[in-house]
């Protein structure tokens, strides 16, 4: 409904969004760099944040890279 109103081709807030549409905000870059550090250090981490802030999408982008 809002996609037609704003002239969008797809819903940018969908769970099925492709990783090629990522917006590299400061928080996104921080989360992916910390995940990269955890991968190199073979550590365990916890990502916390408010609902809808991009935790799952950050993990999806990290897993696809």
Cα–Cα distances (Å) from 8 to 13, 21, 43, 48, 59, in that order, read 12, 13, 40, 30, 25
The pTM is what? Answer: 0.73
Alpha-carbon distances, residue 56 vs 11, 16, 19, 22, 64 (angstroms): 17, 11, 11, 12, 12
Name the packing angle between helices 55-64 and 26-41 (round to 10°).
50
pLDDT of residue 22: 85
pLDDT tens sequence across 1-14: 788 899 988 887 78
Residue range 15-65, pLDDT digits in tens: 888 888 888 889 889 999 999 999 999 999 998 989 888 888 899 999 998
């Amino acid at each position: 409904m809002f996609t037609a109103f704003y002239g969008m081709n797809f819903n940018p807030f969908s769970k099925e969004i492709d990783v090629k549409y990522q917006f590299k905000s400061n928080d996104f870059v921080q989360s992916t760099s910390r995940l990269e550090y955890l991968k190199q250090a073979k550590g365990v981490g916890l990502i916390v944040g408010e609902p809808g802030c991009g935790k799952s999408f950050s993990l999806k982008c990290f897993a696809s890279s």
